[in-house]
Amino acid sequence: LAKTTQPISMDSYEGQEVNITCSHNNIATNDYITWYQQFPSQGPRFIIQGYKTKVTNEVASLFIPADRKSSTLSLPRVSLSDTAVYYCLVGPRGNAGKSTFGDGTTLTVKP
Amino acid sequence: KAGVTQTPRYLIKTRGQQVTLSCSPISGHRSVSWYQQTPGQGLQFLFEYFSETQRNKGNFPGRFSGRQFSNSRSEMNVSTLELGDSALYLCASSLSAGIDTEAFFGQGTRLTVV
């Protein structure tokens, strides 16, 4: 199983862009990178998923360098409601048992 | 469309008892995965079911078991409860197996063992 390392916590201010980096040095060739967001007392919510280069959707962008040993989740113009825990998962598609949630990054957005 | 429904939301049990938790996935989803979340261990994978078959099982003792029915609803059972089983139990449903392609989580069942 690929092990992931993220910062434990990050602070930001409303309106700023936030970048959260995840290290996954032992990523396998068929592994994908997926990010989830979790609010207190709720289940995680899917944000974005990618394999290489850059992926963008309506809420975030995911940057993956060529060696794929790390990835960066980018949240543009955060608001107070983006305060949550963000998890990076690495694993092959179609196999939940091989995708491990790390410790997550607690993002606190301040006014 | 309706989201993932987990019942009950809260549960208090005594050590040694057994408990059954239920998860109704989004209509049309055939995959259900279960997770245990605790402050100390984080989110840990329990098992994954797809079309009534257990595809994967996490590193949990045999006291933890589960099943999936033909309508994709899933249940997990914990027997001989221990204090350390107190946790938030989450299930996730997705169209295909795995949680890497937009899985949807329920709000969880908060189990307290006293």
To the nearest whole Å, the CA of B79 is away from the closest chain A CA by 22
pLDDT tens for chain B, 114 residues: list them: 679 999 999 999 999 999 999 999 999 999 999 999 998 888 899 999 999 999 889 999 999 999 999 999 999 999 999 999 999 999 999 887 665 567 899 999 999 999
To the nearest whole Å, the CA of A101 is away from the closest chain B CA by 6
> Between β-strands A9-13 and B64-68, what pairing exists: parallel, antiparallel or unpaired?
unpaired
* pLDDT reported for residue B99: 57
Q: Which residue of B has its CA nearest to A88?
A: B100
Sort out which chain B residues have CB atoms less than 8 A from A85's CB and list them.
none
To the nearest whole Å, the CA of B16 is away from the closest chain A CA by 26
Q: For A82-88, what is the mean pLDDT?
A: 96
Helix, coil or strand: residue B34: strand
Could you give the CA distance from residue B108 to residue B22 in angstroms, rounded to a whole number?
10
Instruction: Provide CB contacts within 8 A for A89, sequence distance 6+.
Output: A4, A33, A34, A35, A36, A99, A100, A101, A102, B99, B100
**pLDDT higher than threshold 80 for residue A2:** no
A39 vs A93, residue with greater confidence: A39
Q: Which of A3, A32, A93 to mutate to test the interface with B (most CBs of B within 10 A)?
A: A93
| pLDDT-wise least confident of A2-11, A22-31, B89-98, B102-111 | B89-98
- Please choose, from the candidates A63, A37, A38, the residue with its C-alpha nearest in 3D space to the C-alpha of residue A51: A63
